[in-house]
């Protein structure tokens, strides 16, 4: 997409530009000087840009580049220089404000020899003259302009994580980017939006034709990632669109065994849930357990029977022993962290169904809500033969 600069101020001569530098006591970077001589500020179209920093994609928007001798003082370079760097500076000393986003936030050019020419985004909220509110967005003014002119369709395929931001996803969709494109790991934009727990992005993608029940290279659908993000609204949207809690990848390899400690922890938590819900244990719960676990379970079953006769001492002992059974040698807090980590491992490994991820999360409230909603949908979808 070609970058255009509109509504620039009166063109500058080299002499006028040099005079402005002397007045402000600064020296502009060469690429920024060239821009002022060619355009002298103005409104960039497109004004949005995506930048990758530390593995994440960030979105910014420039409304106006400040000009020398602009008709409006808020769009004038020297006025902004005096405003933000006067007797009570609101910007770090080395920063020159060169553009704004229309919401009081600034894009600044560094004048320091340490990072000269780099472009930073400055968020006005707080307005302290330290680096704490600065975010590096470009290594040069030229890179900034190149980012503004980036083709959004190309950006959509080269910035997977950006699909998790609903505002960016909407720009991609409006630019006719493919909502069903597959990234290198087999994920689609819907997988990414679900992983980020962004209901707005998921809703937009589904309305734009995103396909459900697409398996990535880990044999996960978008529903697997939505459950991992624990966003119930996103899970509902995907179930409404046709995702299935119990669907399995056809011909996928079997799920690799988890480490023994993880398997033992998950099994203990599953058995404990049955105890707490007064549900009987089946042969599958006891098969292959070591003698010490079977002995613990036998004691718990005995205490549970005594508890059910309104024996308060037995009830207290049952609760204590159940906690020991669940935790093993760990504190309860550490145990929950370990089980949650194990649940996340299930997502990045081969899994059989989204229901297994849900079961492993150790989040009873979310599990009950999702299962109830899925059951409600099945009931609604069932044909009525009563008439």
Distance CA 346, CA 344 (A): 5
* CATH label of the domain that carries residue 197: 1.25.40.20
125 phi and psi, to 5 degrees? -60, 115
- Indicate whether 107 and 63 sit together in one domain: yes
Tokens of residue 20, six digits: 């402005």
3-state DSSP percent of the chain in helix, strand and coil, to 5: 50, 10, 40
- Indicate whether 8 and 86 sit together in one domain: yes
Position 252 confidence tier, pLDDT thresholds 50, 70, 90? very low
- Indicate whether 113 and 222 sit together in one domain: no
Q: Determine which of 2-16, 50-64, 73-87 has the lowest per-residue pLDDT on average.
A: 50-64
- Indicate whether 23 and 142 sit together in one domain: yes
- Indicate whether 27 and 104 sit together in one domain: yes
Q: Is residue 364 part of a domain?
A: no
Dihedral sign computed on CA atoms, order 124, 128, 129, 132: negative
Per residue in 266-287, pLDDT tens?
677 778 777 777 778 878 778 8
Number of domains comprising the chain:
3
Per residue in 163-208, pLDDT tens?
888 888 888 888 788 999 988 888 999 999 999 999 999 999 999 9
Q: Is residue 195 part of a domain?
A: yes
- Indicate whether 8 and 135 sit together in one domain: yes
- Indicate whether 143 and 16 sit together in one domain: yes
pTM score of the predicted model: 0.52
Q: Is residue 356 part of a domain?
A: no
b/e map of 300-329 (b: 16 or more CB within 10 Å)?
A: beebbeebeeeeeebbebbeebbeebbbee
Mean pLDDT of the chain: 81
- Indicate whether 286 and 321 sit together in one domain: yes
Position 68 confidence tier, pLDDT thresholds 50, 70, 90? very high
The answer to whether the CB of 349 falls within 8 A of the CB of 360 is: no
Q: Is residue 266 part of a domain?
A: yes
- Consecutive H or E run containing 206: helix 199-207
Q: Is residue 115 part of a domain?
A: yes
- Indicate whether 63 and 138 sit together in one domain: yes
Q: Which residue has the higher pLDDT, 61 or 19?
A: 19
pLDDT of residue 303: 82
Q: Is residue 378 part of a domain?
A: no
Position 318 confidence tier, pLDDT thresholds 50, 70, 90? confident
Q: Is residue 164 part of a domain?
A: yes
- Indicate whether 196 and 285 sit together in one domain: no
pLDDT of residue 120: 92
pLDDT of residue 345: 53
Q: Strand (E) positions, the chain?
A: 4-6, 43-45, 48-53, 56-61, 64-65, 95-100, 106-110, 119-122, 134-138
Within 10 Å of residue 343's Cβ, how many Cβ atoms? 21
Please report, rounded to a whole number, the percentage of residues in the chain having pLDDT higher than 70: 80
- Indicate whether 203 and 264 sit together in one domain: no
* CATH label of the domain that carries residue 89: 3.40.1580.10
Q: Is residue 387 part of a domain?
A: no
Dihedral angle computed from the Cα positions of residues 238, 240, 241 and 244, in that order, rounded to the nearest 10 degrees: 70
The residue segments making up the domain with residue 8 are 4-148
Give mean pLDDT, residues 123-134.
Answer: 72
């Amino acid at each position: 997409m070609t970058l255009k600069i509109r509504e620039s101020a009166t063109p500058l001569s080299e002499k006028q530009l040099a005079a402005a530098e002397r007045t402000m006591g600064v020296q502009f970077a060469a690429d920024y000087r060239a821009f002022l001589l060619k355009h002298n500020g103005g409104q960039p179209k497109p004004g949005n840009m995506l930048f990758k920093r530390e593995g994440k994609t960030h979105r910014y928007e420039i409304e106006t580049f400040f000009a020398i001798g602009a008709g409006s003082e808020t769009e004038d370079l020297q006025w902004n220089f005096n405003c933000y760097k006067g007797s009570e500076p609101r910007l770090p000393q080395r920063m020159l404000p060169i553009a704004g986003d229309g919401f009081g936030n600034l894009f600044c050019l560094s004048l320091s020899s340490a990072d000269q020419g780099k472009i930073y985004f400055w968020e006005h909220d707080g307005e302290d003259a330290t680096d704490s509110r600065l975010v590096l967005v470009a290594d040069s003014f030229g890179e900034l302009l190149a980012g503004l002119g980036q083709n959004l369709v190309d950006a959509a395929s080269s910035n997977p994580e950006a699909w998790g931001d609903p505002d960016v996803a909407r720009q991609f969709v409006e630019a006719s980017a493919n909502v069903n494109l597959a990234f290198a790991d087999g994920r689609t934009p819907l997988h990414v939006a679900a992983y980020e727990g962004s209901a707005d992005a998921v809703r937009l993608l589904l309305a734009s034709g995103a396909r459900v029940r697409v398996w990535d290279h880990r044999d996960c659908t978008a529903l697997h990632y939505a459950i991992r993000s624990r966003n119930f609204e996103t899970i509902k949207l995907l179930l409404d669109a046709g995702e299935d809690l119990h669907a399995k990848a056809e011909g996928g390899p079997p799920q690799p065994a988890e480490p023994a400690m993880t398997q033992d922890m998950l099994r203990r938590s599953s058995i404990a849930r049955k105890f707490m819900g007064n549900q009987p244990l089946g042969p599958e719960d006891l098969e292959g357990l070591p003698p010490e676990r079977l002995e613990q379970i036998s004691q718990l079953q005995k205490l549970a029977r005594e508890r059910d006769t309104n024996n308060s001492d037995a009830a207290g002992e049952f609760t204590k022993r159940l906690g020991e059974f669940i935790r093993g040698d760990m504190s309860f807090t550490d145990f929950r962290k370990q089980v949650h980590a194990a649940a996340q491992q299930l997502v990045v490994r081969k899994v059989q169904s989204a229901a297994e991820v849900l079961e492993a999360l150790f989040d009873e409230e979310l599990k009950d809500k999702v299962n109830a909603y899925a059951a409600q949908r099945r009931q609604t979808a069932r044909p009525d033969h009563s008439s």
